[in-house]
Chains A and B, each alone.
Chain A
């Protein structure tokens, strides 16, 4: 007999699939945008900004070689001196969230704390994607409407 000591929390935090009633409801990891631009600490801000804008984004996640999140560049940071290195320009150590957190919880938290976007990471800090507040709010609203209607309007 074997004991998976880290348990279900570890499994879900790694963004691995699960079964059950919650598995059918969207979570942070499902809604987070996987196509978010990323950059490295030693890049030049101007180069990163051009790349980010070309991709139609206003945010970029700073990663190391193992795809661990080190920082975040939002539009405010992207606007600064183009010759700065990313490690000087970024917001270091942003709050990150695990992929299994329910989308309603995420939407409420982001609205309450006025967060435009938040990185979603595995428990060892590797990037899953960037969750944008409008995406979280939209998904939470759609879920609410779906569940309300499927309940015959009794909610």
Chain B
């Protein structure tokens, strides 16, 4: 299970080299995403995560909000 974190922790992790992953649809990513985030929509997450992400660095996933 992913560990829930808040905004401050996101910034700390990113400063330490974490990978940010937005799981929203590509058009939403294109409009706005967190600096440095990559797009990996939920339906592609399982397929792409292994090949696209560095397993040696923390991964932070996010969507629009907690709803």
Contacts and interface: CB of A to CB of B under 8 A. Distances in A.
Interface of A: 1-12, 14, 16-23, 100
Given A19-B35, A22-B32, A23-B32, A8 B2 contact: no
Contacts of A9: 64-65
Contacts of B37: 19
Nearest 4 interchain pairs by C-beta: A3-B2, A4-B62, A9-B65, A1-B2
Interface of B: 2-7, 9-10, 13, 18, 22, 24, 29-37, 58-66
Contacts of B4: 2-3, 5
Contact of A3 (B3, B31, B35): B3
Given A2-B2, A2-B9, A7 B35 contact: no
Contact of B60 (A2, A10, A16, A18): A2
The binding surface of chain A is classed by DSSP as mixed
Contact of A7 (B9, B31, B59, B63): B63
B65 A4 contact: no
Given A2-B58, A16-B7, A20-B33, 19 more contacts: A1-B3, A1-B58, A2-B18, A3-B4, A4-B6, A4-B7, A5-B62, A6-B65, A6-B66, A7-B64, A7-B66, A8-B33, A10-B65, A18-B32, A19-B34, A19-B37, A20-B32, A22-B31, A22-B32
B54 to A, nearest CB: 13
Contacts of A4: 5-7, 10, 60-62
B14 to A, nearest CB: 10
A73 B32 CA distance: 34
A19 to B, nearest CB: 5
Nearest to B62: A4
B34 A18 contact: yes
22 contacts: A2-B3, A2-B9, A2-B13, A3-B3, A3-B60, A5-B66, A7-B66, A8-B24, A8-B63, A9-B65, A10-B7, A11-B7, A11-B34, A18-B34, A19-B34, A19-B35, A19-B36, A20-B30, A20-B31, A21-B30, A22-B31, A22-B32
